[in-house]
Structure 1
Amino acid sequence: MARKNYPDEFKRDAVALYRDTEGATITVIAAELGVSEATLSAWCKAAGVSIRRCRSASAAAASPGCETAEQELARLRAENKALRATQARLSTERDILRSAAKYFAGERNW
């Protein structure tokens, strides 16, 4: 597999994204950027950014019997809040794309 060379600006932006995103893990940010976890981790270490260690959602889902009713309710509420935020973001993106399509198509009767 060929080794990829990333521009310094991309590396700085990736580290800044990880540093400024609360609760995000290396795994999530690396997947969004299309780089390996080890690569992003190395960039963060080189920039002096500490790596957050937390239990992954898949590990929590693997043992559902160990959470209390209050913990399950809190987890479900947080998941519901995240899903609503995602829905709002996607709705806004759809509206923007619809407006752009109207503009570039030159049609006014949508």
Structure 2
Amino acid sequence: MARPSKYSAEFRSDAIALWRASAGRRTFKDVAADLNVNPETLRTWVRDADGALAGGPAPRETHSEVAWLRAENARLLKAEKEWQLEREILRRAAQYFAKEMK
């Protein structure tokens, strides 16, 4: 089992944002020295964040997050069905009135 990180998620995201803001002008080593972290640690954080943005492996969700995501997904699917039904009704109404205009 891996030991927990001594850096908070907020610190990591701030470090990634700092590196991205200075990308091209400063190296991982320079930014990491300012933050007192290992340059490879910072590089790993940035690579993991880029992978998550590119559809890479997502971090593991907690049970409550998974339950919330499932509930939200069900709500969105129900709303989509309602929108599809409304769209079909409007399509049929448009066809009806188009025939009546001819």
Flag whether TM exceeds 0.5 (same fold): no
TM-score, normalised to structure 2, is 0.43
Give the structure with higher Rg (CA).
2
